[in-house]
């Protein structure tokens, strides 16, 4: 990787760190002439398409964050199946390294660092970005004493694909919230719990819970209470101990409900201790030598000058030679014993329960070690998903076999989507890892059209991710039925006005020969008394009058003009009997309509209207 140029601009210079998920390099941005940090995903993650998709999406969301206590994400890219993110380069140490160097920090130092971390979380949470992996390893301490939170969004991508990976769970499980440990919903209060663990470690020099395995530590987070802070470090002020204790409540609702709430108490504690809340941690904290050991009553920093011995100087050469000789002999024996270890065929334990798998491996002289836990739709919880070395390989007795164990099918909480528009409901379901099942509809007196009236499963139900949620969609209030009146015998003008008042639509108006007076309605469709909905079109048949029985007839072909909506076509005839309506109806654009026109006398004038605007007139003779 050293010497490669990623994305045509980031020249990789040196490796500066690494973890279970990625390797970090220092690189030079050739476009902007600055140093950057490039985090390259390890191959086992890069080959997981689901993880990569989530990683890119979450990294892009984290890139929207801009805060002095958050490491900026500049770019996300891929080259030759190598996925990477480009971040701000911070020269300094991790908070974990600082704690390891000092043993523990003073309450003021811990408060100042926590104040900066909390400000970063407040900024992220207001933008709906949850970290999910707050720990000292993810807090960078710059040379000027500023704390910067890194890896925003990456934890979400990782937890969506797998809860633990080699090197990931071991570093993170000490800082898990109880809900993370049990695979429940993680939100702002989960980050607050993890920050509480980091504060505990800063002032005591140790994490609240230790154990033989990641699983045992996770169980302690869920079941056991922490040892009080002041039992380990009596110098911690009561107000600081109270902040840590409240952040580490098992029940989410007993903790600080937001980073802003916690930030307020931290500021008050700093003020009570006479400290400026806006100042960074002392720069000397980062450059100080490792803490001296506590030798009882006081800190000892003395150095004893060795006495000079005479006459036995040859012993200083003899002793090392004897040690080397003994070690060489012992090493030869150990080497021969190792070379003579029996070779066996690796048994297959995939698909077996963890206890059965470990027992079978023990009988074969092997040691089963759980290195990861993953959600798996096909493997029951507590059963082995994969093993390394694989079944059938030749291995020596005593070999450690890495096991990946199933957490079962990943679950989620069904959100409340009732009364929500269909599009918003879809977003909420997808955010919870769910999707629509059957979608049915019906009228509802109060819920607007295209909004959800009911759902199954109900809200707050815990279900497996991917579960389909059946919904019932409102069509709006049920329309009231309208009884069609009797238009026969009315003038066509009166009939049209009455239709508008009843919220019925005007259909076609057709003239027919009739002994009735011209312009009188002689037929209708639907018939009188029919129950119809609002907006239903009513077609009218209108008399041409008695003189029309011996009138002349023409058929006129009319082309409807182009457009986006239907056109109202009206045709009138003017002859010796006067002017009357010959036809009226709505038609689609570009349609061709054949209209029969009857007229009396030596000639007649036909006028054609589109949407009540005269288009042309024709003379018939």
Q: Could you list the active site residues?
A: 133
Helices 259-272 & 238-247, crossing angle to 10 degrees? 170
Q: How far apart are CA 181 and CA 77, in angstroms?
A: 31
Closest CA to 462 of 432, 439, 438, 436: 432
Residue 516: Cβ within 10 Å count: 17
Do 291 and 102 meet the contact criterion of CB atoms below 8 Å apart? yes
Strands 592-599 and 411-413, sheet pairing: unpaired
- Rounded Cα gap, residues 262 and 268, in angstroms: 10
Sign, CA torsion 547/551/553/556: negative
Confirm if 591 and 541 have CB atoms less than 8 A apart.
no
What is the number of other CB atoms lying within 10 angstroms of the CB of residue 216?
A: 12
DSSP lists the bridge partners of residue 605 as: 574, 619
115, with CB counted inside 10 A (0-12, 13-18, 19+), is buried
Query: Can you tell me whether residue 379 is helix, strand or coil?
Result: coil
- Rounded to 5 degrees, φ, ψ at 378 are -100, -15
Residues 346, 343: Cα–Cα separation, whole Å: 9
* DSSP secondary structure letter of residue 487: -
Dist. CA 512–CA 522, nearest whole Å:
9
Hey, how many other C-beta atoms are within 10 angstroms of the C-beta on 14?
Answer: 9
Between the alpha carbon of residue 488 and those of residues 282, 454, 539, the distances in Å are 97, 47, 12
In which residue are the tokens 């200083």 written? 316
- Burial pattern 282-304, b for ≥16 Cβ within 10 A else e, equals eeebbeeeeeeeeeeeeeeeeee
Diameter of the chain measured on Cα atoms: 154
Could you give the CA distance from residue 422 to residue 436 in angstroms, rounded to a whole number?
10
Buried b (16+ CB within 10 A) or exposed e, 22-31: bbbbbbbbee
Pairing relation of β-strands 82-88 and 73-79?
A: antiparallel
Which phi-psi region, left, alpha or beta, contains residue 575 (left: φ > 0; alpha: ψ -120 to 50)? beta
Determine the 3-state secondary structure of 182 from DSSP.
coil
Task: List Cβ neighbours of 470 (8 Å cut-off, separation of 6 or more).
Answer: 436, 437, 438, 439, 440, 455, 456
For 69-112, the DSSP string reads TBPPEEEEEEETTEEEEEEE---EEEHHHHHHHHSS--HHHHHH
Query: Which ranges of 151-248 would DSSP assign to H, the alpha helix?
Result: 154-161, 169-172, 178-181, 188-204, 214-223, 229-232, 238-247
DSSP 612: T
């Amino acid at each position: 990787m050293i010497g490669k140029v990623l994305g045509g601009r980031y020249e990789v210079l040196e490796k500066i760190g690494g973890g279970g998920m990625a390797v970090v390099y220092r690189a030079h941005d050739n476009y902007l002439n600055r140093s950057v940090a490039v985090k390259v995903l390890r191959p086992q993650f890069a080959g997981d398409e689901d993880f990569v998709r989530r990683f890119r999406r979450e990294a892009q969301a984290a890139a929207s964050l801009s805060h002095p206590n958050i490491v900026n994400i500049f770019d996300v890219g891929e080259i030759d199946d190598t996925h990477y993110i480009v971040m701000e380069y911070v020269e300094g140490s991790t908070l974990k390294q600082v704690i390891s160097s000092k043993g523990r920090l003073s309450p003021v130092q811990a408060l100042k660092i926590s104040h900066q971390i909390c400000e970063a979380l407040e900024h992220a949470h207001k933008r709906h970005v949850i970290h999910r992996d707050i720990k000292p390893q993810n807090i960078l301490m710059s040379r000027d004493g500023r704390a910067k939170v890194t890896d925003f969004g990456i934890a979400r991508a990782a937890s969506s694909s797998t809860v633990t990976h080699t090197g990931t769970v071991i570093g993170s499980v000490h800082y898990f919230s109880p809900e993370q440990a049990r695979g429940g919903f993680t939100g702002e209060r989960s980050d607050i719990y993890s920050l509480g663990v980091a504060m505990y470690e800063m002032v005591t020099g140790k994490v609240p819970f230790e154990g033989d395995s990641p699983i045992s530590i996770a169980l302690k987070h869920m079941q056991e209470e922490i040892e009080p802070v002041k039992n380990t470090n009596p110098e911690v002020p009561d107000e600081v101990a109270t902040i840590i204790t409240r952040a580490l409540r098992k029940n989410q609702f007993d903790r600080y409900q937001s980073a802003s709430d916690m930030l307020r108490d931290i500021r008050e504690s700093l003020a009570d201790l006479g400290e400026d809340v806006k100042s960074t941690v002392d720069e000397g904290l980062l450059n100080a030598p490792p803490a001296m050991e506590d030798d009882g009553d006081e800190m000892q920093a003395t150095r004893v000058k060795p006495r000079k011995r005479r006459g036995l100087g040859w012993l200083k050469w003899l002793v090392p030679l004897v040690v080397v000789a003994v070690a060489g002999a012992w090493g030869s024996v150990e080497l021969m014993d190792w070379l003579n270890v029996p070779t066996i065929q690796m048994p297959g334990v995939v698909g077996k329960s963890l206890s059965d798998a470990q027992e079978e491996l023990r009988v074969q002289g092997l040691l089963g070690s759980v290195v990861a836990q993953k959600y798996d739709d096909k493997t029951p919880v507590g059963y082995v998903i994969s093993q390394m070395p694989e079944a059938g390989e030749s291995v020596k007795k005593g070999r450690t076999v890495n096991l990946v164990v199933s957490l079962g099918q990943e679950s989620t909480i069904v959100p409340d989507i009732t009364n929500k528009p269909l599009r918003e409901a879809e977003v909420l379901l997808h955010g919870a890892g769910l999707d629509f099942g059957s979608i049915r509809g019906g009228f509802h007196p109060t819920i607007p059209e295209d909004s959800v009236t009911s759902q199954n499963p109900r809200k707050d139900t815990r279900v497996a991710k991917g579960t389909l949620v059946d919904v019932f969609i409102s069509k709006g209030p049920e329309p009231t039925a309208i009884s069609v009146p009797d238009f026969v015998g009315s003038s066509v003008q009166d009939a049209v006005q009455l239709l508008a008042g009843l919220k019925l639509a005007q259909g076609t108006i057709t003239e027919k020969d009739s002994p009735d007076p011209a312009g009188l309605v002689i037929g209708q469709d639907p018939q009188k008394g029919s129950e119809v909905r609002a907006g239903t079109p009513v077609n009218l048949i209108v008399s041409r009058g008695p003189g029309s029985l011996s009138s002349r007839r023409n058929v006129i072909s009319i082309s409807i003009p182009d457009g986006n909506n239907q056109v109202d076509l009206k045709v009138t005839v003017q002859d010796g009997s006067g002017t009357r309506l010959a036809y009226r109806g709505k038609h689609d654009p570009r349609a061709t309509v054949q209209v029969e026109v009857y007229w009396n006398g030596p000639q007649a004038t036909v006028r054609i209207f589109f949407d009540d605007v005269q288009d042309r007139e024709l003379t018939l003779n």
